[in-house]
Structure 1
Amino acid sequence: MDSGKLSIIDGSVKITPVNGTVWLTKHEIADLFGCFVSKVGSNISVILKAGLLDESEVCRRKYYENGSFIEFYNLGMITAVAFRIRSHNADLFRRWLMKQAVQKQSDKWVSVFVPWSDKIFLN
């Protein structure tokens, strides 16, 4: 699975999407935001249980020959998780998202949809 790249280096967000998105595992999201994998996993569970995002749209599984699999989450889920986690890198990512939402590129405005609900709280 070609998943694209998303990193935060020296306070700068670098994104290389593939087919318009990026797919990361829970471990990669935890590394990106500088938090524990369990925090990412619990926030993903809350987001899905609340019906804020559709699992069939934001989650993909890669199956191995032995029957095990690994789950990947797209930019929509990564964004939702970023708004639930308190960390320096999550804050940098949120600021980058907001900057992208209002940034004017040449004569076109860039639209960025950030899924949000009153059910989402930082933890």
Structure 2
Amino acid sequence: MEQRNIIEWSEHSEYRELTIPSGEIWMSESELVDLFGVFIPKLRNTIQTLYKEELVKPYETERTIKQSRNLYLTVYDMEVVLLLAFRLNSYQARAVRKELMVRIERDHKPFEVIFTNVGRKQFQ
């Protein structure tokens, strides 16, 4: 993992805008604290709760990257970021949820599900 993409607030003179880049999202604790406007203990407890409730597995959603000789950084993927957005209760977390919902609704394309029967029994 060489290049990391992060979700962040971009500051403008009158307002703040949420910037969600394309590509894989991997964010550190300090970046998540800035994004959601919570303190590190709250963030860590919420992440541990996600693991304890088995909503995500650490080995699937967490990576450790080497920053320098003796400095390592733990980063979390987009799945953890999404779950945190709906678990944390802060002004910034609500704004992230709202923006994510707007983007999902805007990019939503209708789809059809087709069932086929390959076995002997027919659908009842």
What TM-score do you get using the length of structure 2 for normalisation? 0.74
Uncovered stretches (5+) of structure 1, i.e. residues with no partner: 112-123
Could you report, residue by residue, the CA deviation over 1:5-60 in whole angstroms, capped at 9, with x for unpaired residues? 3112434321113xx32111111101111110111111001001111012222111
Report matched runs for 1:103-118 at 5 Å.
103-104=106-107, 109=109
Higher alpha-carbon Rg: 2
Report matched runs for 1:1-123 at 5 Å.
1-9=2-10, 10-17=15-22, 20-63=23-66, 64-66=68-70, 68-104=71-107, 109=109
Hey, which bits of structure 1, 4+ residues long, moved more than 3 A? none
Contact 1:24 1:74 in 2 (8 A): yes
> How many residue pairs align between the two structures?
105
Residue type matched to 2:19 in 1? K
Aligned identity (percent) is 24
Residue type matched to 2:99 in 1? W
Residue type matched to 1:15 in 2? I
Partner of 2:119: none
What TM-score do you get using the length of structure 1 for normalisation? 0.75
CA RMSD of aligned residues (A): 2.1
Provide the secondary structure at the position in 2 that maps to 1:109: coil
Could you report, residue by residue, the CA deviation over 1:51-71 in whole angstroms, capped at 9, with x for unpaired residues? 1012222111013433x5210
